[in-house]
Chain A
Amino acid sequence: MTRSFSIRSSPAFLAGAVVLLLAAALVSGCVGSDPSVEQRSISVTGSTTVLPIAQIAADTYMDKHPNDEILVSGGGSSVGVKAVGEGTADIGMASRDLKSSEMEQYPGLVEHVVAVDGIALIVNPENSISSLTLDQIKAIYKGEITNWKDVGGSDRQIVVVGRDSASGTREFFYEAVMQKEEFVRTQQELNSNGAVKQTVAQTPDAIGYVGLGYIDTSVKAVNINMDGVLVEPTIDNVENKAYPIARSLHMYTKGPETGLAKDFLEFLMSAEGQQIVSNEGFVPII
């Protein structure tokens, strides 16, 4: 029974198509931009670790200079390096140093250290452990110590949580704590500070490492036992170099910075900019 459906239903189909097309047209002809003259705009992209600093700094800067626009996005350190190297972004953010391959490919990049990030060891609040030596941490992450009782805790298997292979945090941890010895292969690898914290918060036997800004009541930060002296992971302790695990965060420009990029980096290095750094849980460089 082929009724006259074609006539009756094609309007619905057409209507749908028209809605879609109209909406698409809307996309291209959309309103919203500021009409003022001499608008400057730069884009900042890269490491998601550095992103909070850049974003708040950009917001504060733009509040003062309404004609300037700073677009911040994150995709990872390598995206930052690549984007600034290829010229699709004005500033690249990275939580690690440039690799030799990157220096070869993009020889003109200029490095700016904008902050220091302290790395804290965290355990579940139920865990009775409150301090560890660097050797103990290394042994745990190497897989030589697999039970909490061997470092003075209860008789439970340790769940080792770390960051992914490409993470700048892990790279730093690998150099500073592991002294370039290999991680145990069963360690869980997560892709962000947030995920590490979440996992440690809900896994009673886990240990992990995150940036200082992530420490809250859902996890317990472990003090580092430096030859009998317990050092708490705090911004102050990183600043006065008592706390041993800290790395610098970078921004890169292609050649010497100019224009808005220069103004923005200067703002970041100013006292006000560095205040933002410490508000976000990072360690200021001045």
Chain B
Amino acid sequence: MKQQNNALETQALNLYYGSTQALIEVDIQIPKNKVTALIGPSGCGKSTLLRCFNRMNDLIPDCSISGSILYHGEEITGRSTDVVELRKRIGMVFQQPNPFPKSIYENVIYGPRVHGIKDRKELDAIAEKSLKGAAIWEEVKDRLHDAARGLSGGQQQRLCIARTLSVGPDIILMDEPCSALDPIATAKIENLITELKEEYTVVIVTHNMQQAARVSDYTGLMYMGRLIEFDTTPVIFERPKEELTENYITGRFG
């Protein structure tokens, strides 16, 4: 029954880049319809873990893993897993806003289109819904056919979120989505994240502990490839069990 509440779960996950081990025996349960933050110093493996969930690590030539990753209780590390379908269900937002060099509209409907939707009306509807979902509709609705790269950084990042929403995922992975943005744009994205958890499970990697504290329901601290502690956000920030966690969130290292 526990599986019902976990959108993602790893068991004894190890990951190697060639001969260096980047993840060591990671066990984590990501609850459904919650925001889970992964924090930790640079190089601790938090982004690597995030990229395991949608198998983006497949793109790195000498990357290998052992252990298991369950998506709604289903093993996704095997060769038989349909990676394309998996990535459709588990969306990802990157550190740098990376809209394609196309129009705003073309960016949003890129996903549905590759998944075979051709009907113009349906695409229009998806575009509007996704842009509204990413709280950018009002700003761009009159210039949908302008180039996406003409938008501001914060707008570009929300467009990327809209692009992710357009294929109808149930999980959204965010890899430091605000690190390239100013405080106002960051605040907008943070509000958006809070709204998104109504419908989606969100996993966010962040360097910014205040951000983790503000937006997340659960927080995991990673260090040197291990998951040190994982609990609800208030527990992590107020009564951490591990000394390492306390040292990190109080700023004594990292």
Answer yes or no: A and B touching, Cβ < 8 Å. Answer: no
